[in-house]
């Protein structure tokens, strides 16, 4: 699953007949078929409970699908592939998921864990390449001066930038973000989405973002995918998101 093996515009994430039924019987995803191309910026829209998080979490196996397949770079993602997957697919969360009592740099270095083996996973030893990558990521996110500060000393927007720096330090080919701006104020939301877009454009990292705000989805995405009741009910460009589409997805 090397990112270099696949050209911009080729299918990078191929989802076929994907369904997820939770143990309580709730069908959160219902026969979803979709292709996401290398380098695309895709926004997933839909009301609360539509299945957006379940979909995004199925891609990196935080959720185990009930049936169907997901191929990444042409390879079916199976239980055995998790190590590759953990390197290749980075994830950004609504609540940032930083280790609060660790420094910013230490948090960003966590992005390198997928490259460690055995004992290195338990007592990770970060080499100078790891540290250089982490510092370069912080530099790019404009928060290098916070490297030695505890993560919980930062504002929400700064914490999300640390989380993005951690994701970048992972050197992923795919970036997933589950409501990355839902806990941020409107101005900070724009800053964070601008950063995700810039990384998408500059590095060609395929980006899939769950966004419940339709206006932001239309502004940032190359393509919008709409979920309702676990079904994919819309797929198209931001321009194609008409009033009718809005009604279909949100009503």
Ligand X SMILES: Nc1ncnc2c1ncn2[C@@H]1O[C@H](COP(=O)(O)OP(=O)(O)O)[C@@H](O)[C@H]1O
Q: Which of 5, 10, 17, 26 binds ligand X (CB under 6 A)?
A: 26
**Residue 80 binds which entry of Mg ion, ligand X, none, with Cβ cut-offs from 5 to 8 Å by kind?**
none
Do residues 217 and 45 make contact, with C-beta atoms less than 8 angstroms apart? yes
Minimum Å gap between C-beta 173 and Mg ion is: 23
Task: Calculate the CA dihedral of residues 105, 110, 112, 113 and round it to 10 degrees.
Answer: 150
Minimum Å gap between C-beta 15 and ligand X is: 15
In sequence order, what are the residues at sequence separation of 6 or more whose Cβ sits closer than 8 angstroms to the Cβ of residue 10?
A: 37, 38
Minimum Å gap between C-beta 19 and ligand X is: 12
**Residue 28 binds which entry of ligand X, Mg ion, none, with Cβ cut-offs from 5 to 8 Å by kind?**
ligand X
Could you say whether residue 76 binds ligand X (CB under 6 A)?
no
Closest CA to 113 of 66, 172, 70: 172
Could you say whether residue 53 binds ligand X (CB under 6 A)?
yes
State which residue, 56 or 147, has the beta carbon closest to ligand X: 56
Q: Rounded to an integer, what distance in angstroms lies between the CA atom of residue 168 and that of residue 163?
A: 9
Q: Looking at 9-17, 33-41, 44-52, 81-89, which segment touches ligand X (CB under 6 A)?
A: 44-52
Binding-site size for ligand X (CB under 6 A) equals 12
Q: Which of 39, 51, 157, 226 binds ligand X (CB under 6 A)?
A: 51
The stretches of 110-185 forming alpha helices (DSSP H) are 119-122, 128-140, 156-169
The beta strands (E) that lie in the chain are given as: 11-21, 27-37, 41-45, 67-72, 75-76, 89-93, 174-178, 206-210, 223-228, 231-236
Minimum Å gap between C-beta 53 and ligand X is: 3
State which residue, 25 or 79, has the beta carbon closest to ligand X: 25
**Residue 238 binds which entry of ligand X, Mg ion, none, with Cβ cut-offs from 5 to 8 Å by kind?**
none
What does the DSSP 8-state code read for residue 150?
A: B
State which residue, 115 or 227, has the beta carbon closest to Mg ion: 227
The position carrying tokens 């039924």 is: 21
Q: Which helix (H) or strand (E) holds 249?
A: helix 243-250
- Residue 57 half-sphere exposure, CB side, CA atoms within 13 Å? 15
Minimum Å gap between C-beta 49 and ligand X is: 4
**Residue 217 binds which entry of Mg ion, ligand X, none, with Cβ cut-offs from 5 to 8 Å by kind?**
none
Could you say whether residue 46 binds ligand X (CB under 6 A)?
yes
């Amino acid at each position: 699953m090397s990112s270099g093996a696949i050209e911009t515009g080729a299918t990078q994430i191929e989802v076929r007949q994907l369904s997820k039924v939770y143990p309580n019987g709730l069908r959160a995803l219902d026969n979803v078929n979709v292709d996401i191309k290398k380098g695309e910026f895709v926004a997933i829209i839909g009301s609360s409970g539509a299945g957006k998080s379940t979909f995004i979490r199925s891609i990196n196996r935080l959720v185990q699908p009930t049936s169907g397949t997901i191929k990444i770079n042409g390879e079916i993602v199976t239980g055995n592939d998790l190590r590759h997957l953990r390197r290749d697919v980075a994830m950004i969360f609504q609540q940032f998921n930083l280790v609060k009592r660790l420094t910013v740099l230490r948090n960003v270095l966590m992005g390198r864990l997928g490259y460690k083996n055995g004992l290195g996973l338990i007592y990770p030893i970060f080499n100078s390449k790891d540290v250089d990558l982490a510092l370069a990521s912080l530099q790019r996110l404009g928060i290098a001066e916070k490297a030695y500060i505890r993560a919980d000393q930062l504002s929400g927007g700064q914490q999300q930038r640390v989380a993005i720096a951690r994701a970048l330090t992972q050197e992923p080919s795919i970036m997933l973000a589950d409501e990355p701006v839902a806990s941020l104020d409107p101005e900070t939301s724009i800053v964070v989405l601008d950063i995700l877009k810039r990384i998408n454009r500059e590095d060609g990292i395929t980006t899939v973002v769950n966004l419940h705000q339709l206006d932001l989805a239309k502004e940032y995405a190359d393509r919008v995918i709409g979920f309702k009741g676990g079904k994919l009910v819309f797929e198209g460009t931001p321009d194609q998101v008409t009033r009718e589409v809005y009604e279909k997805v949100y009503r």
